[in-house]
Structure 1
Amino acid sequence: MSKLILGIDAGNHMAKVAGPYGTDCYRTAICDWFERDIVESHGADDMEFEINERKGFAGSIAVYEDEFGGGSMFGDTKAHEDTKIRVLLAIYRYGKKYGIDITDVSLVTGQPIVSHKDADKKRIQDMLTGHHSFTVNDENISFNIVEVGVGAEGSGAFWSDVEDGALRIIDIGSGTINAASIVSKRYINNASSTFNFGMETVNNKEDLAGVARGIIRNTTILKWDRADNVRLCGGIAKDILPFIEQHYGNAALIRPTLQEGSRIVVADPVFANAIGFYKLARNAFG
């Protein structure tokens, strides 16, 4: 096919992809390869891969089989090899899901706000751009990534559900939480940040009230006001919203909209960054 344009949110817990045919997601756990005595299926996203001479498992299988636990590299930057593997597997899965013979890809992916610096962005662009040949589940995969943009997580989600005026965005991830301030479609640096905790790194991930208090404390340091228009995205957004609303009365979920063929679909808030990145990619590379 001709050039495919995608938005890819290569998260520490899930990779989310948005493009012209719809969305996809998979569990981004990765572990080293080993000989299996019993070949057990752990999920529809189980993948055995070899990329750049690194052999391993990805998806649900890696959650269960990783001897070092967790299966994900956390931190406040995506400029590392695991991101490359997550993105390549995301493109492979998108092609399989929608029956696309992919040759050339242009994409926008994300980086936490605190690390959205030129050096880290260039590192991500350099490691993704170019020709890639690898194997997944004994299938030979080959395509070119011809253009790469790097957006800021949180503020990227804004473009999935554009609103006028002043907006605060809370993007709740597994390893970090991004807080972005947008005024008249412009990003405000001194009222935005990345908090170095997420739903997979807190001591008690079931304590949503406690996580909400942590978010509220950190955003008030940024001088966010109780009356601000706050929008939430991320996998836990729906569940944590009632606790955020106790302080920010004008809080609501982001409603990401995506055109799938002739239909306009409202997606789950977990896809907000991916859809925002896709719209940015389409404008930049379309």
Structure 2
Amino acid sequence: MSKLILGIDAGNHTAKVAGPYGTDSYRTAICDWFERDIVEIHGTDDMEFDIDGRKGFAGSIAVYEDEFGGGSMFGDTKAHDDTKIRVLLAIYRYGKKYGIDITDVSLVTGQPIISHKDKDKKRIQDMLTGQHSFTVNGDNVSINIVEVGVGAEGSGAFWADVQAGALRIIDIGSGTVNAATIIDKRYINNASNTFNFGMETVNNKNLSSVARGVILNTTKLKWDRADNVRVCGGIAKDILPFIEQHYGNAELLKPTLQEGSRIVVADPVFANAIGFYKLARNTFG
């Protein structure tokens, strides 16, 4: 096929992908390869891969089989080899799901706001751009990533649901929380940040406690109780009532995606992926 354009949010818990055919997601846990005495199916996203000589398992199987626990590389940057594996597997799965033969790909992926620096962005671009040959579940895969853009998580989600005026975005992930301020479609640095905690890294996973942590840190950025706030991420629907206790104008961010001839409102978990896709389409289309 001709060049495929994708937005890929290669999260620490789940990778989310958006493109012209729709969305996809999978659990991004990764563990080293081992000989299996009994082949169990742990989930529809189970994958056995060999990428750049690194053999392992990814998806639900890695959640259960990871010897060291967790199965994901956490932190405030995506400039590491696990991101490369996550992105390549995301592209492979997208082709499988929608029955397309992918050769050339242009994409935008994400980086936490705090690490959205030229050095880290260049490392991500360098490790993703170019020809990649690897195997997944016995399939020989060859993908040429032609162009790579790196967007800021949180602010990237804005482009999934563009609104006029001033908007605050709270993007709650597994390893970090991104808080972004957008005014008249412009990103405001001194009112945005990444908080180094997420749903998989806090000891107290009570949503009320996590919400208090988010509110405490955003008020340090001089956010006001009356601001227009949009919440996205995997737990957006569940944590929104606790965010609303402080930010009365908080709502779910509602990402829209054109799938063929119809426009679909997707789950807020896909906000960054859809925002990245729209940026990629405008940049590389």
What TM-score does the superposition give when structure 1 sets the normalisation length?
A: 0.99
Alpha-carbon distance between aligned partners in 1 of 2:102 and 2:37, rounded to the nearest angstrom: 34
Q: How does 1:100-119 map to 2 (within 5 A)?
A: 100-119=100-119
Task: Give secondary structure in 2 for the equivalent of 1:36.
Answer: coil
Aligned to 2:261: 262
**What amino acid maps onto 1:191 in structure 2?**
A
Q: How does 1:31-70 map to 2 (within 5 A)?
A: 31-70=31-70
> How far has the Cα of 1:143 moved from its partner?
1.1
Task: Give secondary structure in 1 for the equivalent of 2:78.
Answer: coil
Aligned to 2:81: 81
Alpha-carbon distance between aligned partners in 1 of 2:212 and 2:137, rounded to the nearest angstrom: 43
- 1:244 aligns to 2:243 (yes or no): yes
Aligned to 2:145: 145
1:151-176 Cα deviation digits (max 9, x unpaired): 00000000000000000000000000
- 1:124 aligns to 2:131 (yes or no): no
> How far has the Cα of 1:197 moved from its partner?
0.1
1:24-80 Cα deviation digits (max 9, x unpaired): 000000000000010000000000000000000000000000000000000000000
Q: How does 1:6-25 map to 2 (within 5 A)?
A: 6-25=6-25
Aligned to 2:278: 279
Alpha-carbon distance between aligned partners in 1 of 2:6 and 2:231, rounded to the nearest angstrom: 22
1:146-200 Cα deviation digits (max 9, x unpaired): 0000000000000000000000000000000000000000000000000000000
Aligned to 2:28: 28
**What amino acid maps onto 1:18 in structure 2?**
A
Aligned to 1:214: 213
**What amino acid maps onto 2:124 in structure 1?**
I
Alpha-carbon distance between aligned partners in 1 of 2:204 and 2:269, rounded to the nearest angstrom: 21
Task: Give secondary structure in 1 for the equivalent of 2:126.
Answer: helix
**What amino acid maps onto 1:269 in structure 2?**
P
Alpha-carbon distance between aligned partners in 2 of 1:179 and 1:139, rounded to the nearest angstrom: 40
1:194-249 Cα deviation digits (max 9, x unpaired): 000000001022x0000000000000000000000000000000000000000000
Q: How does 1:184-199 map to 2 (within 5 A)?
A: 184-199=184-199
**What amino acid maps onto 1:132 in structure 2?**
H
**Percent identity over the alignment?**
88
Aligned to 2:159: 159
Task: Give secondary structure in 1 for the equivalent of 2:45.
Answer: coil
Alpha-carbon distance between aligned partners in 2 of 1:167 and 1:281, rounded to the nearest angstrom: 22
1:86-112 Cα deviation digits (max 9, x unpaired): 000000000000000001000000000
What TM-score does the superposition give when structure 2 sets the normalisation length?
A: 1.00
1:4-42 Cα deviation digits (max 9, x unpaired): 000000000000000000000000000000000100000
Task: Give secondary structure in 2 for the equivalent of 1:238.
Answer: helix
Task: Give secondary structure in 2 for the equivalent of 1:159.
Answer: helix
Alpha-carbon distance between aligned partners in 2 of 1:216 and 1:233, rounded to the nearest angstrom: 15
Segments of structure 2 that go 5 or more residues without pairing to the other structure are none
- Divergent runs of 4+, >3 A: none
Segments of structure 1 that go 5 or more residues without pairing to the other structure are none
**What amino acid maps onto 1:249 in structure 2?**
G
Alpha-carbon distance between aligned partners in 1 of 2:229 and 2:260, rounded to the nearest angstrom: 31
